Amino acid sequence: MKQHSMTADVLPVRRGLAWQDSKVLALSSLGGALEFYDFMIFALMAPILSHLFFPASLGEAWALVYTYAIFAIGYVMRPVGGLVMAHLGDRLGRKRMFTWSLLLMALPTLAMGLLPTYAQIGIAAPLLLLLCRVVQAVAIGGEVPAAWTYVSEQVPVNQVGLANGLLTAGLSMGILLGSLSVMGLQAAFSSDTVQAGAWRLPFVLGGVLGLLAVWMRKHLQETPIFMAIKQRRLLYQGLPLAEVWRSHKRLLIIGMGINWFLLASVAVVLLAMPKLLQQQLGLSPVQATAWQVAGIALQAFGCIAFGRLADKYGISRSAWVGASVMVLAAAVFYFGLHALPVAVLALAYALMALCAGSGACLGKMVVRFPAPIRLSGMAATYNLSSALLGGLSLPLVAWLNAHISWGAWLYLSALCALFALLGSAYRKWFEAACK
């Protein structure tokens, strides 16, 4: 592959990660984990919030619907906020957006923990909750692409996959921390105590830790790549997103497809699994959650492993390995639910969870976008895919399972085939062209 100078698009090849690289990764991963922690606790605590922020006269079912609607609005606002922040990041600097995104997540999360309830201020309570949620969505839409871009411009080009794999693993651990936080809250306090005010604790904790992470991020330096293009007056003067669509459609579409695989794998293999395990294997809620926690940990490890694989052998091979193992393991798991020993099913599930992280090879793709429009390119890839495709998985799998007993396997298999095909297309158009 053709090497680049530091003043071009990437940093030169170097063995291993330096201390400064590790510091950048630690602060980036911490911030991303806290953002996804903040994001998840709202979803997990929706049943509690529905009682507190809507009138009892509305009815329990409708109150929950409205609470989930507030959560879902975030998916609509995410691409809007992410693309705006990416535009500013390509014009004003990576570090600035990288810090702002975390601040915009921490403040509304802290505010949620301090909001008065419907019983105290009436209709203003759900409106304020909605406002906090919209700001959260704007932040998370900017955080992930900003983090990928920032890290990719701070580490040597031959370490980009590993670095962004570590970063993506941090996001997964944020989901895990959010789940454990809510579980701990419910285990430590009675339902009445939670309703009386203990529900505020996870939000306040997330907000305070987020503000601490903002302060720590302020000590990071702007990326040398952005400084170089700014000094050489190479900043893109038009609309970066328009240039992404005009000149990099193939890269954008391939990236959106890979991100779909990543999001769908997490939804089906991790988020939806406890219910399936309870229904099909008769596991208790605690046992099913233990499988899920182990799966999240394995998925995080998979992000790192497949990111490193992408560094050494390319995105295409990483995609083929992940897709192949996933489809075989899923076949063993879903078709063997009522026939195979639990130990075999656990091994198959472990492999599925591991390969759910293979989509993190997407992080290696960052450097394919030219530096002046790089953040906008990754923001479009991540946010458009998340908004258009990310929410399809769970309802589609539920519909398939209602008609076909192996519906989940069919969906995962189709995604694996798409992932492998996109890997081949990437190899043809990008990796082979650099040899």
CATH number at residue 188: 1.20.1250.20
Give the global pTM: 0.85
Q: Does residue 355 share a domain with residue 316? A: yes
Q: Does residue 170 share a domain with residue 248? A: no
| Nearest alpha-carbon partner for 331 in 420, 417, 408, 418 | 408
pLDDT for res 422:
96
pLDDT for res 1:
37
Cβ atoms of 329 and 353 closer than 8 Å = no
Cβ atoms of 157 and 10 closer than 8 Å = yes
Task: State which residues form the domain around 167.
Answer: 18-222
> Is 9 inside a domain boundary?
no
> Is 8 inside a domain boundary?
no
pLDDT for res 5:
39
Q: Does residue 313 share a domain with residue 381? A: yes
Tell me the sheet residues that pair with 11: 156
Tell me the sheet residues that pair with 156: 11
| Nearest alpha-carbon partner for 289 in 300, 273, 308 | 273
> Is 112 inside a domain boundary?
yes
Q: Which of 198, 222, 246 is a domain's end point?
A: 222
Q: Which of 195, 222, 249 is a domain's end point?
A: 222
- Residue-wise pLDDT for 341-366, tens only, equals 999 999 999 999 999 999 999 999 99
Residues comprising the chain, all counted: 435
Sign of CA dihedral 40, 44, 45, 46: positive
Cβ atoms of 142 and 82 closer than 8 Å = yes
| Nearest alpha-carbon partner for 326 in 363, 367, 298 | 298
**On the CB side of 366, how many CA atoms lie within 13 Å of its CA?**
33
- Rounded Cα gap, residues 90 and 97, in angstroms: 9
Element containing residue 357 per DSSP (H, E):
none
How many angstroms separate the Cα of 236 from the Cα of each of 89, 150, 295, 380? 11, 17, 42, 16
Q: Does residue 241 share a domain with residue 178? A: no
pLDDT for res 433:
55
**DSSP assignment, residue 13?**
P
Q: Does residue 198 share a domain with residue 255? A: no
pLDDT for res 356:
95
- Residue-wise pLDDT for 19-28, tens only, equals 566 767 777 7
Can you count the helices (H) and strands (E) in the chain?
A: 19, 0
> Is 319 inside a domain boundary?
yes
**DSSP assignment, residue 221?**
P
pLDDT for res 3:
38
For 13: left if phi > 0, alpha if psi spans -120 to 50, otherwise beta; the answer is beta
- Rounded Cα gap, residues 170 and 331, in angstroms: 29
- Rounded Cα gap, residues 220 and 98, in angstroms: 10
Q: Does residue 247 share a domain with residue 213? A: no
Q: Does residue 291 share a domain with residue 201? A: no
Cβ atoms of 266 and 237 closer than 8 Å = no
- The contacts of residue 74 (CB under 8 Å, 6+ apart) are 39, 133, 134, 136, 137, 140
pLDDT for res 30:
76
Q: Does residue 156 share a domain with residue 248? A: no
Burial of 376 (0-12, 13-18, 19+ CB in 10 A): buried
Q: Does residue 268 share a domain with residue 165? A: no
- Rounded Cα gap, residues 90 and 23, in angstroms: 23
> Is 136 inside a domain boundary?
yes
Give percent helix, percent strand, percent coil of the chain, each to the nearest 5: 85, 0, 15
Walk along the chain (435 residues) and give the pLDDT tens digit of each residue.
333 333 357 665 666 555 566 767 777 777 778 777 877 788 778 888 988 999 988 888 888 888 888 877 777 777 888 888 888 888 888 888 878 888 888 899 999 999 999 999 999 999 999 999 888 888 878 888 888 898 888 888 888 999 999 989 988 888 888 888 888 887 888 888 988 889 999 999 988 988 888 888 777 788 888 888 888 888 888 888 899 999 999 999 999 999 999 988 988 898 778 878 888 888 887 788 889 889 999 999 999 999 999 999 999 999 999 999 999 999 999 999 888 999 999 999 999 999 999 999 999 999 999 999 999 999 999 988 887 776 677 778 878 877 787 888 999 999 999 999 999 999 999 876 554
Q: Which of 222, 256, 273 is a domain's end point?
A: 222
Q: Does residue 312 share a domain with residue 285? A: yes
pLDDT for res 415:
94
The owner of tokens 């990326």 is 223
Q: Does residue 388 share a domain with residue 332? A: yes
Cβ atoms of 163 and 20 closer than 8 Å = no
> Is 1 inside a domain boundary?
no
> Is 107 inside a domain boundary?
yes
- Rounded Cα gap, residues 203 and 197, in angstroms: 11
Q: Does residue 124 share a domain with residue 47? A: yes
How many angstroms separate the Cα of 244 from the Cα of each of 250, 252, 331, 361, 371? 10, 8, 38, 20, 11
Count of domains observed in the chain: 2
Cβ atoms of 391 and 86 closer than 8 Å = no
Strands (E), 35-144: none
Cβ atoms of 143 and 89 closer than 8 Å = no
Please give the span between the terminal C-alpha atoms of the chain, in angstroms, as a whole number: 5
Cβ atoms of 414 and 425 closer than 8 Å = no
